[in-house]
Structure 1
């Protein structure tokens, strides 16, 4: 029985979404028409349902639906002659492996857990999945995102194929499950926030954590572009303290991939202040600072045109000074001439007028110089 391929999972996802699941699950009533179209016998369909409904809740989530569809296609195509008594390990979702073990233990009457027959001989997965993203992990995820995103900041599933190939403990079904969790609208591409969470889920799974079946409500609302739930009665995640990886830890997630694409980097060991910058309030503060800087930039651009205005004002002042000098000389000459009272009066009026204009221009120039100095001080403070 060949393993699940990526194109199969995408096809099953479209069918699953087309059946309008509720709370990410399909009832038997919604799935029955699809099963009947296979023209398999009712007893075979019943066996398929029993094998796929791992948690025995009478409904199928997407992972269980994938199992159902694959078993039906294999029966119809003749790849298998009957429904297997035990699902192959590659077809068992990691999020339900513990249920398979428990069911087998109960069926065999043993108190100890029965190990799955695994071709990969993978370790037992733990349930302590942690949604907290440390600053170190975030830096790695952002480096992967930056190397994979297009010009619009979007990332396609296949853009991360090189990363998937480096993951030794994450089956294709879990990769697709993580993609579908962060991409509930089934878009062809996802944005940065979705990529960071996707990479974190793959990182946790690679390190032996069971893949979650759902994402927190706040993330789900973000991925669905809905309004987040601000109900304070809901339990909140407790704050976490960032921890440095120990010397015995496995190689950091994505290191091989980043090295392969030439994006590997060794971050400095200086004090990391980024742990205090992960809140919405921090984003608001940064946006406000950005707006203030934009205002200062606008003023600076206005100031850049200031020297021309100041230069023009200085030129006009110089011309008035020259005119004042000329009129003063004319007045002195007129005083030496006889019978020139009328001319002297005219010249005196002209001189007084020019003097007042020069004074006004000097005051205007002084105000502009003060404004310019003030703007320079503000830019220096930034």
Structure 2
């Protein structure tokens, strides 16, 4: 490692003066832009700051600032592979030699007196106060149209809140809560993302290699699509008994739309489905189920309501034209209803899962009391 040169010290003085020191000292916030610009991991920067802050006052005078800058430059330029455990003698200012000696003695005494502590594990329990705080933090992030949040949006928010978190930490936790490698994630995984990084920042918790099973199930859950044109909605009803004959009716056949239907039966069925959805919505609100579950139920209800209005209009138009006896493609209509039935089943399954998650969390809360 090359020794300090005079031109180097002059360069550091220019940087130090530009930070507008008070009483010949700069604090952590003043040096923070330089630390971030180095692109070094937060754990490395913490080690450098600790070595440079010889008097442990969380400020750097010029001599300490020189130590900090030199270690940063050596790490960035690959002059050293890691931050040394102790400062080399040539980097210790003469005025700080006695403090360095005291620090070594104090460290030896602490190591002798205190039992070795392991790195704390992440505690995944979120208190109501935590959830409220994370709601506010998530509210500052830019959301996608479906309400999800992307990695860049989350990472910018985290950087502004947690100063001890580096890019590699965020990458690890993002992969942890987003195992399906989606471009954006729902609110629950986003909460766990913030919660984990907060503990890494505050208490130095170790990022786990995998989530607990209950949380993994939440982060792995399939997003339910309520768009009848989506691939998820393109399902076929299982053939029962001896019905093995394939449906050869083209799906773009407009005869089903031009015919009046069994429209009365169709309308009655839709009205019943709407009544069931209204009951489901009321139950979800009464049980204080998640906003996401209530929103998806509400969106599905709007789709049913639109289809009902269309069928009612179709019935009225064909009644006026006297086309009641025109035959229709009843198979296409039945298949549409089957698809709608699958959507209702998917919604009910989704709501049951949310209920199960809520009960699981309540049991966990009770276990801590």
Q: TM-score, normalised by structure 2?
A: 0.34
Asked which structure has the greater CA Rg, the reply is 1
Q: TM-score, normalised by structure 1?
A: 0.33
